[in-house]
Each structure stands twice: as structure tokens, then as C-alpha cells.
Amino acid sequence: MKAAKTLISVLFSFLMFFILFDGCVYFVIFSKGYLNAKYKDYKVGEALDMSDEDLESVTARLVDFVKGKAESIDIEVSVRGSYGRFFNDKDISHMVDVKNIILRMRDLLVITSFAAFIFAIFLLLNKSTKEFRNGILIADGIIVLLAVVIVIAATTNLNWLIVFCHNIFFNNTNWLLDPKYDNLIFLCPEKLFIDAGKVCGAIWGVYILLITALGIVIPLRLSHRR
């Protein structure tokens, strides 16, 4: 039974980690405010010779589309001095793939949140303090190891890591964009992946500290009460 409780604690920690990652991507990275702020930092409007209003309209349509709030990503604005479609067929095809991934992540967020709640109730009812601590520390060790591997891969060869991740999630080459023809590449520069990784990394770091503190402090306080 103790082994089962420890395993459930490990799974609980992993679920919470996934919920934070999923939530970070869905609510932070794919948010109009975050993307608009980053596009100003990257001077995307200047690169495409677009007004701030048009760029914000494109960003809003992009976010609404991938979250299932807009049926089409087609939008016409003034780009490089001429009025027309911002996204070409290749851009649209790739964003359809992205939309499918984001919507699956949203569904998984609901499922994992429910599962984490059930696990938490189980651990509380069974007063599995020691098993909770052991499970949390095991999960933390695995997550930290994974983070170290990702950081090493990113600092060693970021381009390889980006290509590797795209090959995992996409079964076509529509993500290979050309700045001469595909405006979408200006909305998905390498800097955006780096900054998104930093945001998620910061959230993971805070989570690791908090969940580890809870895993150690709660059993200690309960043992003193006994």
C-alpha cells in the first residue's frame, strides 16, 4: 500500500507539472497581450511595414483561431504597402495543425486537472504524508533532470531542438517557412520560442520550489502534532 501511495504521489506531481505547462502555453504564451508585447519587442510591425492596429488585428485573429473562437484565420490587412491576405495557404495549413494541438492540450488540461484533484483527495483521506514527500521528491528529481537535458540541448544546438520538437508534433513540412513568402514566420521567430521557454522555465522553477517545500514541511508539521 505504501508503494501505491508513493506512486500516486509521483503521478500527482507529474500531473501538476503538466497542468502548469499546459496552462502556461494556453493562457500565457497564446494570449493576445503576451504576443502583442513580444511583437513590439521584436519590431514585427516595422519588419512587415504594418501599422500597430493591423498587427494587433492579425494577432487577435491568430489567437482566436487556435483556441477555436474563430472559424477562419483569413484576414486582410496592409502589409509592405499593399492590401491583401496576411496568411497564405501554407501559413493557414500550418496553423490548422497548431490549432489541433492547442485544442487537444486544452482538453487534456481539463482531464489532468480532474485526475490531480482525485489523487489529492485520495492522499488527504489516507493521510499519506511520508509517501507524499517521497513521491514529490522522486518526481522533482525526474523533472529537474528533464529540465537539465532540455537546457543543455537548447544551449548546445537550439536549432536542432526546435526542429526535433516540430518533427514530433507535425507530420508535414508546412512549419518550414520562408520569410520571402510566408508572413507567419515573422509571428513565430526563434526569439519567441526562447522567451516562451524562459517563461515556462520560471513557472516550473517556482512550482518545483513550492511543491518540494510542501512535500517536506507538511509531513514534518504533522509528525510534530502526533
Specify whether the CB–CB gap between 59 and 32 falls below 8 A.
yes
Element of type H or E holding 7: helix 2-23
Total residues belonging to the chain: 226
Nearest 5°: CA angle at 193, between 164 and 160?
25
- In whole angstroms, give the CA distance from residue 96 to residue 25: 17
pLDDT tens-digit readout, 79-120: 999 999 999 999 999 999 999 999 999 999 999 999 999 998
Q: Which residue has the cell 500597430?
A: 52
| Residue of 54, 84, 56, 85 lying closest to 72 (CA atoms) | 85
- In whole angstroms, give the CA distance from residue 103 to residue 36: 21
pLDDT tens-digit readout, 44-78: 999 999 999 999 999 999 999 999 999 999 999 99
pLDDT tens-digit readout, 167-186: 999 999 999 999 999 999 99
